């Protein structure tokens, strides 16, 4: 496994699986990601373990389900001591760094309880989810809460953007005919070009920063998490990407009038969210979706630049490269905006894994339809870097056997989770904060979603791949629902919480009493 020396872990934010040309989009061309896919394994059934940025990312970064890492929503601190990718890779000699977004919130109370200094190296890693924050930027910097030291703003100011918060006034705003700002927060302004030059946009800047890191790292093995904040809203793109696609490129919404009749109650409450009502409008979809596409194409163009940079340095020879996303975007499908629920538009994500090891040559350019999850990446990286199994911590499984065509029995269902206590839907339904939970279990045939306190959803993916007919109350499918409840119970029983002692150590310890001179129950 020595062939993997570095890891480039690229994530896009809110990128649906089907909005890449290699995943079948008919008019959105993503040649750089497609080119990588031709040298990689393209996973056709990749699922995120949580459908919201923060918890999804924490699952990627810990290799553990949302229930286990406990950071159940954006802004919920990852508890101190929860082991991260950085904690596992650094002892293997790697520099583990971040450029872009993690959505990590530090557990300040926990760090204080342990007397961990915020100035120490260890404290920095703990606050930054195990990453060296080479360039930390979660995006979303409204005037009322912008960090005055935001590096991207300082960069923009150096390049002539003179306003106090050019993130908003330049990158997140367009300009009206009277030179007034048209805020990118409003969907109605998506059609206009951002006031930032493309070369100074966030996507360009973060790509540059990734290259700077790679140059700087030199001969030290590294794992770089390049985490773009786009195509996540605000949906506003610099020229020419704001106008690269048009209303003709907008696919018909995947929804039916039947879905609005007596929907499952949590689903129904999400339909009443502001973003859902907006995306239910066809004029909104036609204005916004082309810009969403432009933002994706922009990322792809910068990845082309990055691939070129890597080729020049022969880094494709020893660098594992992943392109993935933290969740999708409904864009009006199923009468919803945003993400969070478990239709494919939200929970199904792209996953392309390039493995430089010659053992992976046999699978290059192929598709793999195994049900893989975001928690599989951390163990993949650790194993690729020659690290231990850590199967008492990781709930995901290394993808190496799938990449290297080794025989592997694989899971036959993927699980994802939601805590909607922070959202309007939870308030509207008057659900107590600790009961606003849902779990999806998806096999090749069925998708089952269990809600605490509400009736489930069930989709027959074979006969209804677009998930338009909820069979959650169909009496003829009671046995399917019972089977998936039983399987979710099994899943719940198997969460990894004994993280301080490995399975191998337990085998060694089975006789430890004797070794310590302790005798039990001998006459």
Task: Answer yes or no: are the C-beta atoms of 51 and 416 closer than 8 Å.
Answer: yes
**Contact between 350 and its own copies per CB under 8 A:** no
Q: If binding is defined by CB under 8 A, does position 119 make contact with its own copies?
A: no
Nearest approach, Cβ of residue 499 and its own copies (Å): 6
Binding residue (CB under 8 A) for its own copies from 13, 259, 340, 419: 419
Q: How many residues does the chain have?
A: 523
Instruction: Please list every residue from 174 through 203 that binds its own copies, using CB under 8 A.
Output: 183, 185-188
Instruction: Pick out residues in 2-21 that bind its own copies (CB under 8 A).
Output: none
| Contact call for residue 147 and its own copies (CB under 8 A) | no
Among 258, 434, 464, 474, binds its own copies (CB under 8 A): 434
The stretch near its own copies (CB under 8 A) out of 106-114, 213-221, 222-230, 470-478 is 106-114
Any bridge partners for residue 353, and if so which? 41, 322
Hey, which residues between 216 and 255 contact its own copies (CB under 8 A)? Answer: 233
Of 41 and 295, the one with the shorter C-beta distance to its own copies is 295
Q: Which of 116, 341, 399, 441 binds its own copies (CB under 8 A)?
A: 116
Residue 230 vs 302, nearer CB to its own copies: 230
- Buried b or exposed e, range 24-63, using 16+ CB within 10 angstroms: ebeebbbebbbebbebbbbbbbbbbbbbbbbbbbbbbbbb
CA atoms within 13 A on the CB side of 411: 22
Using alpha carbons, list the distances in angstroms from residue 349 to 38, 127, 214, 491: 18, 27, 27, 22
Buried b or exposed e, range 264-298, using 16+ CB within 10 angstroms: bbbbbbbbebebbebbbeeebbbbbbbbbbbbbbb
CB of 352 to its own copies, least distance (A): 29
Nearer to its own copies (CB atom), residue 67 or residue 208: 67
User: Does residue 424 touch its own copies according to CB under 8 A?
Assistant: yes
Report if residue 337 touches its own copies, rule: CB under 8 A: yes
Q: Angle of helix 151-158 relative to helix 202-217, nearest 10 degrees?
A: 100
Site string for its own copies, 75-104 (x = CB under 8 A): xxxxxxxxx---x-----------------
Q: Which of 40, 62, 102, 276 binds its own copies (CB under 8 A)?
A: 276
- Please give the backbone phi and psi of residue 166, each rounded to the nearest 5 degrees, phi first: -65, -20
Measured from the CB atom, the residue of 119 and 463 that comes closer to its own copies is: 119
CA distance 229 to 235: 11
d(CA 342, CA 441): 9
Q: Rounded to the nearest whole angstrom, what is the least distance from the CB of residue 193 to its own copies in the complex?
A: 19
Distances (CA, A) of 287 to 33, 248, 386, 478: 25, 11, 48, 42
Piece of the chain touching its own copies by CB under 8 A; list 117-125, 221-229, 243-251, 456-464: 117-125
**Going residue by residue from 443 to 482, which x/- string records binding to its own copies, judged by CB under 8 A?**
---------x------------------------------
- Within residues 38-77, the interface with its own copies by CB under 8 A covers 67-72, 75-77
Closer to its own copies by Cβ: residue 107 or 355? 107
Q: Name all contacts of 448-455 with Cβ < 8 Å and 24+ positions apart.
A: 448/480, 448/481, 448/484, 448/485, 448/488, 449/264, 449/341, 449/342, 450/484, 450/485, 450/488, 451/264, 451/265, 451/266, 454/264, 454/265, 454/266, 454/429, 455/264, 455/265
In the three-class reduction of DSSP (H, G, I as helix; E, B as strand; rest coil), residue 336 is classed as coil
Strand partners, 419: 437
Interface with its own copies: number of residues (CB under 8 A):
96
Which of 27, 220, 256, 512: binder of its own copies (CB under 8 A)? 512
Chosen residue from 1, 27, 38, 109 binding its own copies by CB under 8 A: 109
Whichever of 166 and 337 has its CB closer to its own copies, that residue is 337
Choice from 149, 252, 433, 475 touching its own copies (CB under 8 A): 433
User: Structure tokens of 94?
Assistant: 């790697």
The region that residue 217 occupies, defined by phi over 0 for left and psi between -120 and 50 for alpha, beta otherwise, is alpha
Binds its own copies by CB under 8 A, chosen from 162, 219, 462, 518: 518
DSSP code, position 170: I
Q: Which one of residues 275, 326, 355, 467 is an interface residue with its own copies (CB under 8 A)? A: 275
Query: From CA 205, how far away is CA 214, in angstroms rounded?
Result: 14
Residue number with CB closer to its own copies (113 or 313): 113
Q: Which one among 218, 219, 475, 510 touches its own copies, defined by CB under 8 A?
A: 510
The least CB distance from residue 62 to its own copies, in Å, is 12
For β-strands 372-373 and 41-47, DSSP reports them as parallel
Nearer to its own copies, 26 or 148 (CB): 148
Structure tokens at 457: 């959803």
409 binds its own copies (CB under 8 A): no
Nearer to its own copies, 4 or 78 (CB): 78
Query: Which tokens belong to 303?
Result: 């990845």
Nearest-angstrom CA–CA distance, 12 and 348: 13
User: Between the CA atoms of 502, 503, 508 and 509, what dihedral angle is there, to the nearest 10 degrees?
Assistant: 80
Q: 188 or 215: whose CB is closer to its own copies?
A: 188
**Which of 1, 154, 247, 501 forms a contact with its own copies (CB under 8 A)?**
501
| Tokens matching residue 228 | 């773009």
CA 46 – CA 410 distance, rounded (Å)? 13
Q: Which of residues 375-404 bind its own copies (CB under 8 A)?
A: 391-392
């Amino acid at each position: 496994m020595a062939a993997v020396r570095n890891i480039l872990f690229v994530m896009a934010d809110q990128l649906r699986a089907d909005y890449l040309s290699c995943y079948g989009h008919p008019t959105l061309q993503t040649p750089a990601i497609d080119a990588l896919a031709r040298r990689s394994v393209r996973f056709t059934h990749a699922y995120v373990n949580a459908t919201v940025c923060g918890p999804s990312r924490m699952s990627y970064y810990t290799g553990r389900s949302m229930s286990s890492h406990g950071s159940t929503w954006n802004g919920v601190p990852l508890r101190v001591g929860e082991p991260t990718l950085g904690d596992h890779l650094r002892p293997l000699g790697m520099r583990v760094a971040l450029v872009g977004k993690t959505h990590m919130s530090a557990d300040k109370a926990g760090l204080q309880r342990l007397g961990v200094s915020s100035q120490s190296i260890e404290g920095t890693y703990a606050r930054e989810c195990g990453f060296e924050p080479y360039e930390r930027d979660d995006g979303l910097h409204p005037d009322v809460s912008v960090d005055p030291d935001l590096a991207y703003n300082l960069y923009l100011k150096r390049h002539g953007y003179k306003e106090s918060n050019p993130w908003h006034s330049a990158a997140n705003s367009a300009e009206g005919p009277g030179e007034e700002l048209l805020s990118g927060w409003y969907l109605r302004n998506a059609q206009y070009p951002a006031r930032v030059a493309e070369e100074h946009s966030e996507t360009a800047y973060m790509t540059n920063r990734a290259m700077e890191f790679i140059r700087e790292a030199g001969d030290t093995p590294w794992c770089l998490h390049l985490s773009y904040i786009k195509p996540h809203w605000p949906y506003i793109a610099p020229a020419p990407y704001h106008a690269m696609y048009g209303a003709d490129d907008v696919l018909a919404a995947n929804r039916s009038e039947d879905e609005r009749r007596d929907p499952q109650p949590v689903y129904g409450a999400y339909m009443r969210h502001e973003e859902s009502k907006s995306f239910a409008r066809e004029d909104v979809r036609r204005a916004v979706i082309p810009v969403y596409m432009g933002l994706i194409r922009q990322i792809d163009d910068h990845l082309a630049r990055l691939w070129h940079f890597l080729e020049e340095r022969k880094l494709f020879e020893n660098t594992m490269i992943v392109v993935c996303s933290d969740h999708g975007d409904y864009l009006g499908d199923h009468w919803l905006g945003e993400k969070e629920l478990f239709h494919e538009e939200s929970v199904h994500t792209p996953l392309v894994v390039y493995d430089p090891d010659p053992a992976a040559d046999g699978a290059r350019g192929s598709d793999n339809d195994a049900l893989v999850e975001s928690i599989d990446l951390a163990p993949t990286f650790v194993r690729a870097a020659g690290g231990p199994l850590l199967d008492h911590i990781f709930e995901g499984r290394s993808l190496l056997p799938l990449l290297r065509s080794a025989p592997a029995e694989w899971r036959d269902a993927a699980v994802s989770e939601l805590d909607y206590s922070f959202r309007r839907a939870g308030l509207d339904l008057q659900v107590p904060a600790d009961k606003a939970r849902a779990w999806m279990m998806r096999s090749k045939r069925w998708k089952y979603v269990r809600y605490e306190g509400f009736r489930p959803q069930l989709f027959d993916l074979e006969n209804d791949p677009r998930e338009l007919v909820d069979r959650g109350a169909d009496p003829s499918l009671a046995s399917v629902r019972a089977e998936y409840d039983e399987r979710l119970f099994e899943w719940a029983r198997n969460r990894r919480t004994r993280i301080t002692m490995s399975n191998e150590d337990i085998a060694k310890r089975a006789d430890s009493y004797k070794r310590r001179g302790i005798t039990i129950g001998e006459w």
